Amino acid sequence: MSRRSVEYEVKQRPELGVDFRPLDGGPPAGVSAEPLLDSENMLINLGPQHPATHGVLRLVLELDGETVVRCIPHIGYLHSSFEKLGEYRTWNQIVTLTDRMDYLAPLIYNCAYVMAVEKMMGVEVTERCKVTRVIMMELDRIFSHLLWLGTWAIDVGAFTPFLYSFQEREKVYRLHEAYTGARITTSATRVGGMMADLPQGWAEGVREFAVGVIETLDEVEALLSTHAIHLGRTQDVGVISAEDAINCGFSGPNLRASGVPYDLRKDRPYYDYETYDFEVPIGENGDCYDRYLVRMEEMRQSVRILHQALDRLPDGPMDVDDPRVVLPTKTDLMNDMASMIHHFKLVMEGVKAPPGESYFAVEGSKGELGMYVVSAGGSKPIRWRVRPPSFVNLSVIPKLVEGGLLADVIMVNASLDIVLGEIDR
Amino acid sequence: MRGEDRMSDEMTTNSEGGGEAVTAGGRATPDAAEGVHPSVSALRDSFGDAVLRHEVVAGDEHVVFVGEENSFEILRWLRDEPDHLYNFLSDVTAVDYGEGRPIQVVYQLYSIPHRHALRVKVELPVSDLEIDSVVPLWQCANWLEREVYDMFGVNFRGHPDLRRILMPANYAEGHPLRKDFPLRGRFSRAEQTRRALAQEPEDHYVGTDFGPGRDPQVVPWPEIGGEPVPVRSPDSAEDES
């Protein structure tokens, strides 16, 4: 612990009637001096109630002046043990838990979960469902990044981009609502398909949004990308090397900002992502500014994927034709004994998964979002585990902020793009 | 001996050799189609019987069971061997099947250079939940192992900072994700409320907040010119006048 001493002269002001002599027998009056000021390290709480911690994150910071000596994160304030709760829910009921984890990109979580269950059960979804889920996931990637962009701009002191990005987010909220009936808690997926087919005109709405968001991104980039204050606050702040980033478990845009081209859509492609034409932006320096650049470019690439997916959205059934997982149509139910039995079993017992397990990871908006499901046979999981990208990304924050300034903690935290609902689960 | 017990507890299908790769879910690697994994055969060559068994689940996911005594060595070998280079640890978690069966600690490994995924499992008897920490190999295991400790009570030997992470530090009801833990907790709702209301600000700090070399029982905010204020400890509650 360093002790810095400050020594300076105090001019005596007898006319004020104040005696500045130190109390512990210091030098006599007239000889102006003050005892050495010892500075102890200071311990402060950043959060859990702080607008720049993006939720109920609490960082205990030990400061030497303005320099962060140590940073100890405390999490768990939102803990509701979704994983335990999931062991008491049927496979389809868990979908409603997943979107409450990352309420900034609920559809990605809905999709990732059912994809893991489908992989474990060996269910192959229809072509229309695949493309729909790709649209959902890319839409919510932009949705999540837009929130990150707004709060990032606020943290750096710019208010206008926040308004711009939330205007765009409102359009996605409306798309969510048009399809699922809910703005945030979408719960849109089911094992073997989606909750419903897409409503009339929904795809055109996505197209309209995809065109409009590019204009907003252009405007925001014009405001931020070369702004002197923005550059000064973010460049060479929170730097992490590629090796460290991998070793620390960084994933998603945070890892790519350090120069590691690891994107699950390219490296372990699912849902025909290898047939979509898009680039994976890579940073060079691994600092906050590169994380900003990577996310801005990712939104543009997601728009490209959206256009391609909308172009190829095929007609046909949304749900898989598999009586184990999908309810029969009403006509079949009324006329066909086998369908009625399937309907009864599905409604009363839920989808039954054979014994087995699967770990399925998708490229979430925050990083590698893995769903690990274990079944011992039956309608409820033995274990449902979420590999939380924000949780692992946040665990690196002491490494990034220690030795830097207090003001940089805010920017580093904003650049990691965390969501506490998923960290605490 | 322990290996035999583990075999009898086998839950999943498709044990070694019979890896009929059923391609499902739309993701399959060429290796998986044949039911072989380059790292698994190399592991067998290097470690022999230390690899207890090998399973293929969900079509193309390879699971290797290893013993607790050499799990660290095997994981280090997987990370450092140039042909494998599992440099990215996706996840550390655990699975409790209940009924006194061993708790599985699960490592999800991924090799960014070679694009291989591998799952390594270690089975620990409920009576002896101890395993070597892999934080020296992958730093991201720090919080993940803390979560496994918090939720399952697995002790990680050599972990730099093993304490609860999601539950409060003074949580007294046990480890929530164990199968013998009831959904609503062990205490009555009245007792849980009483404990929640009895929390003091000091309860939210832990020893490591105060830095190495410091007495964890002392809050490092000295009163000006005074002595450091001691933290309220459970024993001293009665002594306060």
Rounded Cα distance, A316 and A129, in Å: 9
pLDDT at B34 over 60: no
- Give A164-194 pLDDT, tens digit per residue: 999 999 999 999 999 999 998 999 999 988 9
- How, if at all, do strands B116-124 and B61-66 pair? parallel
User: Residues for chain A: how many in total?
Assistant: 425
Residues facing A373 on adjacent strands: A358, A384
Name which of A247, A17, A417, A104 is nearest B137 in CA terms.
Answer: A247
Q: How far is CA B59 from CA A189, A358, A387, in A?
A: 23, 9, 21
Are A262 and B143 an interchain contact pair (Cβ–Cβ within 8 Å)?
A: no
Burial class (CB in 10 A: 0-12, 13-18, 19+), B234: exposed
- pLDDT for A26 equals 54
Judged by a CB distance cut-off of 8 A, whether residue B199 touches chain A is: no
Are A124 and B96 in contact (CB < 8 Å)? no
Q: CB-CB: which of A119, A247, A391 is closest to B143?
A: A391
CB A181 within 8 A of CB A114: no
A119 touches chain B (CB under 8 A): yes
Helix (H) or strand (E) holding A301: helix A288-312
Most confident of A64-68, A293-297, B43-47: A293-297
Residue type, A118: E
Tell me how long chain B is. 241
Phi, psi dihedral angles at A205 (to 5 degrees): -60, -40
pLDDT, tens only, A237-279: 888 988 889 988 899 999 999 988 999 998 888 998 989 999 9
Residue found under tokens 């700090």: B205
pLDDT digits (tens, 9 = 90+) for A353-373: 899 999 999 999 999 999 999
Would you state the structure tokens that stand for residue A48, as one six-digit string? 């859990």
> In chain A, count of helices (H) and strands (E)?
17, 10
CB A398 within 8 A of CB A224: no
The pLDDT value recorded for residue A163 is 93
Backbone phi, psi, residue A234, to 5°: -115, -25
A52's CB contacts (< 8 A; 6+ apart) are A46, A154, A155, A410, A413, A414
Chain segment B64-120, per-residue pLDDT in tens: 999 888 899 999 999 888 888 898 999 999 999 988 889 999 999 999 888 889 999
Interface test mutation site (partner A, options B9, B13, B65, B93, max chain A beta carbons within 10 A): B93
Q: What is the pLDDT of residue B228?
A: 39
Mean pLDDT of B51-64: 87
State pLDDT tens for residues A281-326.
999 888 899 999 999 999 999 999 999 999 999 998 888 888 888 8
Residue A93 tokens, joined: 């009921």
Tell me the residue type at B35. Answer: G
pLDDT-above-70 percentage for chain B: 68
Task: Give me the long-range contacts of B46-52 (CB less than 8 A, separation at least 24).
Answer: B46/B77, B47/B73, B47/B74, B47/B77, B50/B74, B52/B3, B52/B6, B52/B7
User: In this predicted structure, what is the pLDDT of residue A226?
Assistant: 86
Angstrom distances, CA of residue B211 to CA of A39, A70, A326:
17, 8, 56
Closest chain A residue to B145, measured at CA: A392
* Tokens 């293929």, residue located: B56
Kindly state the tokens that stand for A247: 């070793």
Phi-psi sector, A192: left (phi>0), alpha (psi -120 to 50), beta: left
Dump pLDDT digits (tens) for A70-115: 888 888 888 988 999 999 999 999 999 998 888 899 999 999 999 9
Task: Give the number of other Cβ atoms within 10 Å of residue B186's Cβ.
Answer: 13
- What integer is the mean pLDDT of B178-189? 86
Q: Which of A233, A202, A197, A190 is nearest to A350 (CA)?
A: A190
* SS3 category, A55: strand
Partner A contacted by B79 (CB < 8 A): no
3-state DSSP: chain B helix, strand, coil percent, rounded to 5? 25, 20, 55
For residue B169, the tally of other CB atoms under 10 A from its CB is 14
Sort out which chain A residues have CB atoms less than 8 A from B209's CB and list them.
43, 60, 72
Inter-residue contact A72 to B209 (CB < 8 Å): yes
CA neighbor of A147 nearest in space, from A196, A106, A197: A106
CB contact under 8 A, A267 and B115: yes
d(CA B71, CA B47): 11
Burial class (CB in 10 A: 0-12, 13-18, 19+), A425: buried
| Whole-number CA gyration radius for chain B | 22
Judged by CB atoms closer than 8 Å, whether chains meet at A84 and B166 is answered as no
Nearest CA in chain A to B106: A372
- Min distance B209 CA to chain A CA atoms (Å): 7
Give pLDDT, residue A127: 92
For A419, the 3-state DSSP assignment is: coil
Cα–Cα distance measured from residue A70 to residue A68, given in angstroms and rounded to the nearest whole number: 6
Residues 6+ apart with CB under 8 A from A79: A424, A425, B166, B167
pLDDT per residue over A377-415, tens digit each? 888 999 999 999 999 999 999 888 888 888 899 999 999
Please name every residue paired with B89 in a beta bridge, in sequence order, or none if there are none. Answer: B109
| Coil, helix or strand at residue A275 | helix
Q: Which of B110, B115, B210, B224 to mutate to test binding with chain A, by most A CBs within 10 Å of its CB?
A: B110
CA separation (Å) from B197 to A56, A280, B188?
Answer: 20, 50, 14
Q: What is the pLDDT of residues B216-227, one digit of tens each?
A: 333 333 333 334
Identify the H or E element spanning A385.
strand A383-387
Closest chain A residue by Cα to residue B24: A122
- Mean pLDDT over A326-338 rounds to 88
Q: Which residue has the tokens 């079949």?
A: A332
Percent of chain B with pLDDT over 90: 18
Read off the DSSP letter of residue B218: B
Are A372 and B181 inside 8 Å of each other by CB?
no
- For residue B63, give the H/E element and its range: strand B61-66
C-beta atoms of B117 and A268 within 8 A: yes
Predicted pLDDT at B196: 81
Cβ within 8 Å, pair B205-A424: no
For residue A335, is pLDDT > 80?
yes
* B219 contact partners, CB below 8 Å, separation of at least 6: B202, B205, B210, B228, B229, B230, B231
Return the residue in B91, B115, B221 with the most chain A beta carbons within 10 A, the one to mutate for interface testing: B91
Taking a C-beta distance cutoff of 8 angstroms, is the pair A164, A153 a contact? no
Q: Collapsing DSSP states into helix, strand and coil, what is residue A36?
A: coil
Per-residue CA distances from B49 to A32, A146, B67, B102 (Å):
80, 52, 9, 20
Separation between Cα atoms, residue A405 and residue B111, nearest integer Å: 35
Q: Is A69 exposed, middle or buried (0-12, 13-18, 19+ CB in 10 A)?
A: middle
Other beta carbons within 10 Å of A132: 26
Chain A hits for B183, Cβ within 8 Å? 84-85, 88
CA distance B37 to chain A (A): 16
- Minimum-distance CB partner of B58 among A40, A75, A119: A119
Are B169 and B202 a contacting pair, CB within 8 Å? no
* Cβ atoms of residues A141 and A365 within 8 Å: yes
At B71, which amino acid appears?
Answer: S
Nearest CB among B87, B95, B176 relative to A84 is that of B176
Yes or no: say if B103 and B123 are a contact pair by the CB < 8 Å rule: yes
